[in-house]
Amino acid sequence: MRKIIMLALIGLVAQLIDGSLGMAYGVTSTTLLLWYGLSPALASASVHLAEVVTAGASGLSHWKFGNVDRRIVKKLVIPGSLGAFSGAALLSSIPAHLAKPFISIFLLSLGVYVILRFVFFKKQEDLAKENHTAELPVRKWYTPLGFFAGLLDATGGGGWGPITTPVLLSQKGMKPNKVIGSVNFSEFAVALSASVGFFIFIGFESLQWQIVVFMMLGGVIAAPIAAYIVKKMRTELLGVLAGGLIILTNLRTILKEFAGVSVGEPQILLPLLLIWLLLIVRAVRKG
């Protein structure tokens, strides 16, 4: 029962963050599954299998409401899928004890990005207004961007949204709804390709289906709560809370593996908590 509750909570927290920020489902859920004790390959496989359902539903919703630009999807979906499949193959071939600390470094860097994105960077709407032009450009570098984001998404268990969304929004002519909708729509194919890769390289029987099922259950419960939080809580504050959780959890693994020390040591934990508190205060003031 304790295991079931923990898995459901992981799915709930991850969907709560993603549904409120528009990103970080994979980063958060993979971070928590690694902390729970899963190997990097199993954690990423479980996350992507759960994401096939959530990303599919999200992509269809965006398509229905006209938030998908076909030109962006065509440029992202094939290289993104190839990158995700390659990432699954790469992660599955690396021993778990070697991969875990390096995956934690990648996830920690994404946690730092989430904080920077929602506290120090401009909001998506403001950025889009500054870069708005009448015609939407479709650039050649979308292909390597899609492959790189898909590769990191599969190897790190998350990163498709945090990598592609800000890069696309920084370009002229990009509207937030089109960028977010197209990235979400493409994510279904990326998650599916990663899942197929993990099926092939780690084996169908290796997957722990109860993890996927209860993460989905937690996500379903979190969806309406996230919608409520979006209206009531500032996204800057939620971004700092989520980013801090991701950083502290992955820093625990990094310090243990490379330095043999615990993140719970007062001389390490107290400065981190102080910095986190100051960032929370800044986020509240910014809003």
The per-residue pLDDT for 229 is: 66
Quickly count: other Cβ atoms within 10 Å of residue 173's Cβ: 14
The residue written with tokens 């403001």 in the block is 126
* CB-based contact 160:183 (threshold 8 Å): yes
Residue 107 in this model has a pLDDT that exceeds 90 = no
Angstrom distance (rounded) from CA 37 to CA 118: 29
Look at residue 227 and tell me whether its pLDDT is greater than 70.
Answer: no
Secondary structure, 3-state, 43-64: HHHHHHHHHHHHHHHHHHHHHH
Dihedral Cα 149, 152, 157, 159, nearest 10 deg: -40
The span from the CA of 223 to the CA of 18, in Å, is 9
- What residues does each domain of the chain span? 2-286
According to the model, what pLDDT value does residue 154 have? 93
Q: Distance (Å, rounded) from C-alpha 220 to C-alpha 58? A: 12
Q: pLDDT (tens digit, 9 = 90+) per residue, 183-198?
A: 888 989 999 999 999 9
Instruction: Quote the pTM value.
Output: 0.75
- Length of the chain equals 287
Q: What is the pLDDT of residue 134?
A: 39
**Helix, strand, or coil here: 76?**
helix
**pLDDT, tens digit (0-9, with 9 covering 90-100), for 122-159:** 555 554 455 444 344 456 788 899 999 999 999 988 88
Q: What percent of the chain has pLDDT over 70?
A: 86
What is the rounded distance in angstroms from the CA atom of residue 139 to the CA atom of residue 171?
10
Whole-number mean pLDDT of the chain?
81
Which tops the pLDDT comparison, 196 or 225?
196
How far is 164 from 173, CA to CA, in rounded Å? 15
The residue type of 77 is V
pLDDT band for 67, please (50, 70, 90 cuts).
confident
